[in-house]
Amino acid sequence: MTALLKPYIHNEFLLNLITRAAGFAVTLLAAFILWRLCFTALKRYRDSQPDNRRRSTICAILDSIIRYVIYFFIFVQALNQLFGINVISLLAAAGVVGIAVAFGAQSVVKDVITGFFIIFEGKFEVGDIVTIDDFTGTVDSITLRCTTIKNYVGDLYIIPNGSIEKVLNRQKYPHDVSIDVEIAYESDIDTAFEVLRRCGKKAREEFPLITGDLKVLGVVSLGNHGVTIRCLVPCEGGNQYDVEREMLRRIKYAFDENDIEIPYNRIVVFDKRSKNDK
């Protein structure tokens, strides 16, 4: 490059600057081509099984790693080609400083290591419904640094991986939805059991998210206003909230049809004036 431009540019500084800029432009082009090739390969791997959440999670992580590697490569080449800095010598000199910085970066290292274990052990993946730190939602993304969870109203919870200690995965395996219904003391309990079983059987035939028959566990509480009955409805993981809402709707209609009263607070107003008038 220098030999080609030398007959036309006699200023050594300008010639050197153009040569360095051209070399760095070639580096940027090569880095862009490399990133596009990797991105295309990851996209084909992910799209081969679009419903595989584990593949989607791994592809997202690999894409993040490739980006960081390419950014670091461009940074090193910029120092070397544009400014003439010997990166190897610079890294050797920075080794002592790196030891001191490492103490301050312990949390970052912990996040990255924990992120690796989360990804490759597959205890939870993108798309799973989980509870972390009393926050329940759908896993939106998992990176080496952090995990993001989005709840049903769109709130995004960002958690550093190193701080994740306990995870409740509500979607990994088949799930039983626990439903508590309260009936009045005047209602017959055995009749309520039978109505619940019939309601569950009909719901299984009409609602495909339910995978088994409703199980009536029995009376779990004698409260101030009524008797609490607990039921279990089996379903696939991740569908428990839809199943719970549907079953509560059906149980309300079933109780109304069979004259089973659901207790609720009543307010009685006593009008003294009416009494005096009599």
Q: CATH number of the domain that 243 lies in?
A: 3.30.70.100
- Decide which of 161 and 105 is more confident: 161
Element (H, E) at 231: strand 227-235
**Mean of all residue pLDDT scores within the chain:** 79
Shared domain check, 47 and 8: yes
Hey, what amino acid is at 77?
Answer: Q
Shared domain check, 185 and 142: no
| Closest to 242 in 3D by CA, of 171, 149, 172 | 171
Shared domain check, 18 and 97: yes
pLDDT at 231: 93
Residue 277 falls inside a structural domain: no
Overall pTM > 0.75: no
| Tens of pLDDT, residues 50-99 | 666 667 767 777 777 788 788 888 887 777 776 766 666 656 555 555 55
- Assign 254 a pLDDT band (cuts: 50, 70, 90): very high
Shared domain check, 193 and 138: no
Domain that holds residue 8: 2-104
Residue position matching structure tokens 């997202």? 60
Shared domain check, 42 and 19: yes
Q: What is the CATH number of the domain that holds 82?
A: 1.10.287
Number of domains in the chain: 3
| Whole-angstrom distance, CA of residue 238 vs CA of residue 215 | 20
CA dihedral sign of residues 256, 257, 258, 259: positive
| Closest to 198 in 3D by CA, of 176, 231, 235, 237 | 231
pLDDT at 182: 92
Hey, what amino acid is at 229?
Answer: I
Residue 6 falls inside a structural domain: yes
